[in-house]
Structure 1
């Protein structure tokens, strides 16, 4: 847990970077190892993120859990999208199994989060919300913010480097979920959110460590 807390500030900054820079720029930094691979990633250079809201969850107020729910649903959807792509393109049984585990676990959590949202916030409306640092209150997410929160992207062709790109994408994606889950542990008062956050931290931290081991073994990279 101490290790996770040391990462907390870094990944809060990562979410801010997502709202202040292009998704394509961050994608190229986190996923693309050289210029040869860059053409395989989708180009989003002309899509600037909205500056009015950061992707942090905001203060521990009456809408904190709503913001957590909306953020985590979108974030899980992005992970599921990448896992489905891995099922189609990866040849390694290890990646195939991990992808299946991600889809199963996170689709279940999405359904639970959606149920809580409907029950706890019946008047919230359909649009996901986030905290606006500039306005100092909860506001609807823009399309660009929704895309940023999902962090889903085209991982490229089913070539020899696909698994490397998948791992390099899923590790920071999982780490983003850990940051939000840790924030919920600190700020949510609901035992349901506390329990889910603990489960996210436990399961995704294990998957991160596994992916790092594979990366070291398969690509001699840390």
Structure 2
């Protein structure tokens, strides 16, 4: 899985808050902007400085990368679930889609909140956050200010292809139920893989808890979907 350049390169500049925006409100993330020599402008911090800051704050690149990717991953699950009400045949499939929407929408909010608190500061007012998220006229998740992270779907396990999404949108009845379970099962399995990697490589206790919850919830959901097709 491709690592987003959150600790090196251009994206380092996105970790600043008041230093980038000119806001008076202090934020710890502003420490990643290294002051220049007299008469010179500040520059993005080095990877060593970022690593030291992350260690001080109790999280690392794996924590941030996991949330960045999982927000987008959850976003596609919501898109799939939103197709179910007018297309499903089995009542259990409808209930499963409702559960997915009810769980993963709030999880996106919590993940974005962690990024705002630990990386971007007051992100909704921070141009750096908007640049990072690619926000142009509203967010990816329903235009409600959510974060369109602009990550490549091919970098995440279990993501349905555009062709798969078109097939799901065109399906109805039993065909929809079967395809929904096929695609969502693969999607959940991919999320579990990502969460297991975060559990292995991450450090932040809140992020590890979120990853552990994803593993438990989505494994349970896979079993519910299997049973739904057998009923």
TM-score, length-scaled by structure 1: 0.59
2:116 aligned residue (110, 115, 118): 118
Higher relative contact order (CA 8 A, sep 6+): 1
| Shift, 1:196, TM fit | 0.8
CA distance in 1 between partners of 2:81 and 2:171 (Å): 14
Structure 2 residue runs of 5 or longer lacking an equivalent are 3-54, 122-127, 135-147
Number of aligned residues: 149
Structure 1 residue runs of 5 or longer lacking an equivalent are 1-11, 16-59, 130-140
Q: Which residue of 1 aligns with 2:62?
A: 64
> Are the equivalent residues in 2 in contact too, given 1:70–1:128 (CA < 8 A)?
no
After superposition, what is the alpha-carbon deviation per residue over 1:55-102, rounded to whole angstroms, capped at 9, x for unaligned?
Answer: xxxxx9832222111100000000011011012211221011101100
Higher Cα radius of gyration? 2
Decide whether aligned partners of structure 1 residues 94 and 183 sit closer, same or farther in structure 2, where only a CA change above 3 A counts.
Answer: same
TM-score, length-scaled by structure 2: 0.57
| Shift, 1:142, TM fit | 8.9
| Shift, 1:214, TM fit | 3.1
1:183 aligned residue (194, 197, 201): 197
> Are the equivalent residues in 1 in contact too, given 2:93–2:228 (CA < 8 A)?
no
Decide whether aligned partners of structure 1 residues 109 and 162 sit closer, same or farther in structure 2, where only a CA change above 3 A counts.
Answer: same
Structure 1 position 145 matched with structure 2 position 152: yes
CA distance in 1 between partners of 2:155 and 2:85 (Å): 23
CA distance in 1 between partners of 2:188 and 2:195 (Å): 10
2:181 aligned residue (146, 158, 167): 167
Q: Where do 4+ consecutive residues of structure 1 move more than 6 Å?
A: none
> Are the equivalent residues in 1 in contact too, given 2:188–2:218 (CA < 8 A)?
yes
Computed over aligned residues only, the root mean square deviation of the Cα atoms, in angstroms, reads 2.8
CA distance in 2 between partners of 1:82 and 1:92 (Å): 16
| Shift, 1:147, TM fit | 7.2
